[in-house]
A and B are shown apart, each in its own frame.
Chain A
Amino acid sequence: MAEQIIFFILAVAIALFSVLAVTSKRIIRSAIYLLFVLVATAGLFLMLHYHFLFAVQVTVYAGGIMVLFIMAIFLTHRPGEIVDRRTNRKVKSSMLLSFGGLIVCGYIIVQNVTRTYSYVKEYEMKMQDIGYAMLGTGKYQFLLPFEAISLLLLACIIGAIMIARKEKSVESTDNKDLDK
């Protein structure tokens, strides 16, 4: 019973804050609502007994990505600035699309998924098992995607630096223009 109550609170928080995050007029509030959604998702992982995933979600998403978002918002917007949205017609059509998809997929889920689960209670994964599965080369082991992700992170670091650095020549011409 307690589990159901906790799940209900987390589910209501996720639904409410994810809708608020995409409809809020002030962009910094959207970022904070997104932070609440991410933390509530970490709570869902904890309810599924995935403790490692919970830790990764809190550190990477709610820690790292949210800091990136907030710093980017502070670098590119005045705080408290109201950002306007698209035209009314666009809002209506995309709301129609979202609600239609929500209803269709929700109908499919409610009709088909209710009888088909088998939940093993109090089954907790050991950290050693996760480590062996992540760094093994056998069947159901994940060394290759792990290495691919490490290469991707390296490429991402280099790409982000390449994109965000200031170009020297453009900078100097801009300064000349300002001087005139």
Chain B
Amino acid sequence: MEKKRNDYVDFGVMAGTYKTRLTKKFVDRSVWQRPVAGEVLSNLPGTIIQVLVKEGDTVKEGDLLLIHEAMKMFNRIVAPVSGKVVGIHVMLGDKIGKNHLMVKIQPEEA
């Protein structure tokens, strides 16, 4: 801590730009990305124990796609939109993390 820190950076806020230091949390923050309709991501780390659709299937919003075991529960993963299944990115028995792309659905034109 003796080393003199001289790591001020330019930092823009509404009213102007200031010399300051940044927190680690700010530097490491993830930039917001627009969610893609039809991409089904995992919201818990867990294991795929059932795959109920295949590529090319037409699904309706709410249809069961997968069973994902996580936190001692068989979680039902359902289609967020109606459309055609264009990609299944998990296989039976796969252990996946959070935010893993599991299924991709091409939403049908409204």
Binding partners A and B: no
- Which positions in A face B, CB cutoff 8 Å? none
